C-alpha cells in the first residue's frame, strides 16, 4: 500500500482513467484492501474506489466519472466496465495482482491476462502469489520484465504458533455434538464446511442453540456478506460458518480456533483455511473432525500439507475438547427478525383487480431474482 500511494502522490487525476490498479480474486479481499489503502491515500489527496460484481454498477461508474486515482477491482466486473468503455487502463502506472494463485484456482487468469494487456507495458507491476504454478508462471513471464523475486516460507510451511489437532469421531451424531461443543467457547472461531447449504444450516442451528453465528458463502448477496462479516468482526457473532470463500482474503484478527468440519479436498485449501488463525504473531488452534470413512484421505491430506499430528478418538466431553473450548459462553437468546408491515393500498375506484398467470408469474420472477445466487463470483 505504501509504495503504491507514494508513487502516485503527485500525478494528475483523470475521469475514468486510474493511475493505480489492484486486482483481487474476491469481493471481501477487494473491500479489505480498499479499507487499508484509503487512510494512506487520503493523506496524499488520492481517491480510491472498489469495483466488484454482485451489486449494481451505478455507484462504481459514478465514482469513476468523478475521477479516481486507484481502483481496487475483481476481474469480472472490471472487464464488464472495460467492454462498456466506462473505464480505461491506458494511464495505469502501477498494477498489483494479489493472490494470483487463487485467481488461477478460480479460473480468472484469462481475464487477468486481458486486463494486464490493456495497461501500458512500461508500468510497474507487482504480483503476490503463494505458488507459481497453474499458469501464474506464464503471467510472470509475459508481463513482468526483469522481475525481482522475494520469497518467504514455502506454501507447505506450517506456522510455528499454530497447533493442529485431528479428532476422530464415531459417527455423524458424535460429530454434531463435538462441533456444537467446539463452537461454544467465548473466543472467536471459524468453522469450515463443504457446501453453502450446510454452512447456512449450521449457522442457524448454532444461533438457535444460543451461540450467535453467521454464515459466509457464495450464495449470499454482497450486502448480506458485508453484514455477516461485520457482525463477526465486531463480536456480535462469535462463530463464522463458512465455505472456502473465507479461506482466502478474509482477514479477521484474534481468531483463536479454526475447525475443519468437512476436511477439504486438497492440501492447499487446508493450509489456507487454517491460516485464518495464528496471524500476526498470535497463537491459534486448528481442529480437523474426521469420520471413520474419512481417515485415509485425511492422512494423505495432512502428509501433503507437511503436518505431523497424532489423531485422537474423542467425544464432546473429552478433556482434549474441553481444553480447546475453554470457558463456555453464556447462552444468548436468538433475536427474532423484524418483520416490516406493508401499508395496505385501497383499490382505486373504477379499476378492477385482474387475476391471471401473468401477474403471478411476475411476482415469482421477482422473488427468484432476489434470492438467486450471483453469477459473477467476482
User: What would the pLDDT profile of 239-280 be if each residue is shown by its tens digit?
Assistant: 999 998 766 667 788 999 999 999 999 898 898 899 889 876
Q: Please give the tally of structural domains in the chain.
A: 2
Task: Note whether 58 and 196 are same-domain residues.
Answer: no
137 and 168 part of one domain: no
What is the domain range of residue 43?
2-143
Report DSSP state, residue 245. Answer: G
Predicted confidence band of residue 153 (pLDDT cuts 50, 70, 90): low
Task: Give the residue, 177 or 356, on which the prediction is more confident.
Answer: 177
Task: Rank 146-150, 304-308, 374-378 by mean pLDDT and report only the highest.
Answer: 304-308
157 domain-assigned: no
Share of the chain above pLDDT 70, in %: 85
Co-location of 212 and 308 in the same domain: yes
The CA distance from 339 to 334, in Å, is: 15
Tell me the sheet residues that pair with 95: 21, 125
Q: What is the pTM of this model?
A: 0.69
On whether residue 62 sits in a domain, the answer given is: yes
In a domain, 358, yes or no: no
216 and 130 together in one domain: no
Residue 198, domain member (yes or no): yes
In the chain the beta strands, taken as DSSP E runs, fall at: 20-23, 48-51, 70-73, 94-97, 124-127, 162-168, 188-192, 213-216, 239-242, 255-260, 284-290, 312-313
Question: What CATH number does the domain containing 132 carry?
Answer: 3.40.50.300
For residues 10 and 107, membership in a common domain is answered with yes
Whether residue 217 sits in one domain with residue 169: yes
Q: Is residue 216 part of a domain?
A: yes
97 and 246 belong to one structural domain: no
In a domain, 371, yes or no: no
Instruction: Judge whether 207 lies within some domain.
Output: yes
CB-based contact 284:256 (threshold 8 Å): yes
Residues 255 and 300 in one domain: yes
Assess whether 93 and 168 both reside in one domain: no
- The residue among 325, 347, 366 that closes a domain is 325
- Is the domain of 98 the same as that of 230? no
* 346 lies in some domain: no
CB 21 within 8 A of CB 96: yes
Judge if 214 and 247 occupy the same domain. yes
179 and 319 assigned to the same domain:
yes
User: Residue 362: which pLDDT band, with cuts at 50, 70 and 90?
Assistant: very low
10 HSE (CA, 13 A, CB side): 1
> What is d(CA 96, CA 94) in angstroms, rounded to the nearest whole number?
7
Amino acid at each position: 500500500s505504501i509504495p503504491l500511494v507514494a508513487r502516485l502522490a503527485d500525478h494528475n487525476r483523470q475521469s475514468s482513467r486510474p493511475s493505480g490498479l489492484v486486482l483481487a480474486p474476491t469481493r471481501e479481499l477487494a473491500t479489505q484492501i480498499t479499507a487499508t489503502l484509503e487512510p494512506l491515500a487520503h493523506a496524499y489527496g488520492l481517491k480510491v474506489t472498489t469495483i466488484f460484481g454482485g451489486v449494481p454498477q451505478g455507484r462504481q461508474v459514478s465514482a469513476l466519472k468523478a475521477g479516481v486515482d486507484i481502483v481496487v477491482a475483481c476481474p469480472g466486473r472490471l472487464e464488464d466496465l472495460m467492454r462498456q468503455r466506462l473505464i480505461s487502463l491506458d494511464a495505469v502506472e502501477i498494477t498489483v495482482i494479489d493472490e494470483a494463485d487463487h485467481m488461477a484456482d478460480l479460473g480468472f487468469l484469462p481475464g487477468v491476462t486481458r486486463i494486464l494487456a490493456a495497461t501500458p507495458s512500461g508500468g510497474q507491476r507487482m504480483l503476490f502469489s503463494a505458488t507459481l504454478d497453474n499458469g501464474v508462471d506464464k503471467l510472470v513471464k509475459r508481463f513482468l520484465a526483469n522481475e525481482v523475486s522475494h520469497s518467504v516460507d514455502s506454501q507447505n510451511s506450517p506456522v510455528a504458533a499454530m497447533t493442529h489437532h485431528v479428532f476422530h469421531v464415531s459417527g455423524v451424531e458424535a460429530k454434531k455434538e463435538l462441533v456444537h461443543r467446539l463452537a461454544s467457547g467465548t473466543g472467536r472461531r471459524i468453522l469450515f464446511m463443504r457446501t453453502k447449504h450446510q454452512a447456512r444450516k449450521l449457522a442457524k442451528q448454532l444461533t438457535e442453540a444460543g451461540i450467535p453465528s453467521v454464515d459466509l458463502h457464495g450464495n449470499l448477496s454482497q450486502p448480506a456478506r458485508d453484514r455477516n462479516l461485520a457482525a463477526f468482526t465486531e463480536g456480535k457473532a462469535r462463530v463464522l460458518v463458512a465455505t472456502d470463500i473465507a479461506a482466502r482474503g478474509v482477514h479477521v484478527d484474534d481468531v483463536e480456533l479454526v475447525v475443519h468440519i468437512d476436511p477439504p479436498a486438497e492440501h492447499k485449501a487446508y493450509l489456507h483455511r487454517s491460516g485464518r488463525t495464528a496471524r500476526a504473531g498470535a497463537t491459534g488452534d486448528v481442529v480437523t473432525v474426521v469420520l471413520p470413512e474419512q481417515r485415509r484421505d485425511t492422512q494423505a491430506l495432512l502428509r501433503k500439507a507437511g503436518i505431523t499430528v497424532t489423531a485422537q478418538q474423542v467425544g464432546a466431553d473429552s478433556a482434549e475438547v474441553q481444553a480447546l473450548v475453554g470457558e463456555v459462553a453464556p447462552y444468548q437468546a436468538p433475536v427474532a427478525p423484524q418483520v416490516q408491515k406493508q401499508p395496505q393500498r385501497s383499490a382505486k375506484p373504477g379499476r378492477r383487480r385482474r387475476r391471471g398467470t401473468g401477474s403471478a408469474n411476475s411476482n415469482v420472477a421477482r422473488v427468484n431474482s432476489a434470492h438467486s445466487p450471483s453469477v459473477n463470483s467476482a
